[in-house]
Amino acid sequence: MGISERMGDVLGQAVESKLLKEVLDHPVKVQHLAIIMDGNRRFAWKSNIATGIGHRIGKEKLEKVLDWTLEIGIPWLTVYALSTENLNRPENELKVLFNLYNEGLREIADDPRIHDNQVRVQIIGRRELLPKLVNDAIDYAEKKTADYDKFVFTVCLAYGSREEMIDAIRSLASEHASGELKLEDIDQKAVSQRLYTGDMPDPDLVIRTSGEERISNFLLWQMAYSELYFSDVFWPSFQKKDLFKAIRTFQERRRRFGE
């Protein structure tokens, strides 16, 4: 490593340390961080590597980001890993993704850091659309961490927010038709409780990587008053300083909640 590279590393670490201190010292805290992890494929194409390698690097990045959020002390982390629309991708790519989910969920469930920090792992989405390999790994991760409640790590797989809301509407309609739920009792709270995220707070901050500025059917109801932050970097290139910059931006905004 040359002198300029070493200096760059030192400066980078100094910036990260400064940002971390600012994040930790600020009175405004992120309680629930949601991330749309976008750009694995474009990172692979730009780097002239196989798409599967791009997805693997993206998986490894998620492990690091989970560590960073634990370091900051964010109680809720939710990531968008696979949308219902993504299930239309080529079979070979889906096979790679499913194998990575199986591997990643089992690694997380066995990771001492997960147990030391008491992280509960949960998966939300249309599980019936996922292969047995992935569902078995989901069961394994959820059962091994079911008793924890200090941190909650939620992975959205085969997830679509419109589908989620349709399921909630069907639940409300069924309960009303059976006489269990009065029409006047159907309010925002009733809807929220019947979403996949019924026991979770709404996200404070939503980050999307890769430069795309849309939310792509992710937590549409829950994101009503979330602060949005769009990062230009592809997900595999997302760095600690990028996370801290997003949080600092959030901390400097005044949340109005429709006021």
Walk me through the domains of the chain, giving residue ranges and CATH numbers: 31-159+196-250 (3.40.1180.10)
Mean per-residue pLDDT pooled into runs of 10, the chain (259 residues): 57 84 95 98 96 97 97 97 96 96 97 97 97 98 97 98 97 97 97 97 98 96 97 97 97 76
40 assigned to active site: no
pLDDT of residue 179: 97
Spatial distance between the Cα atoms of 12 and 242, rounded to a whole number of angstroms: 11
Spatial distance between the Cα atoms of 157 and 87, rounded to a whole number of angstroms: 10
38 assigned to active site: yes
Catalytic residue among 38, 40, 102, 204: 38
Catalytic residue among 9, 25, 48, 86: 86
204: left (phi over 0), alpha (psi -120 to 50) or beta: alpha
Q: Within the chain, where are the H helices?
A: 3-25, 40-47, 51-72, 91-110, 112-116, 132-144, 161-177, 188-193, 240-252
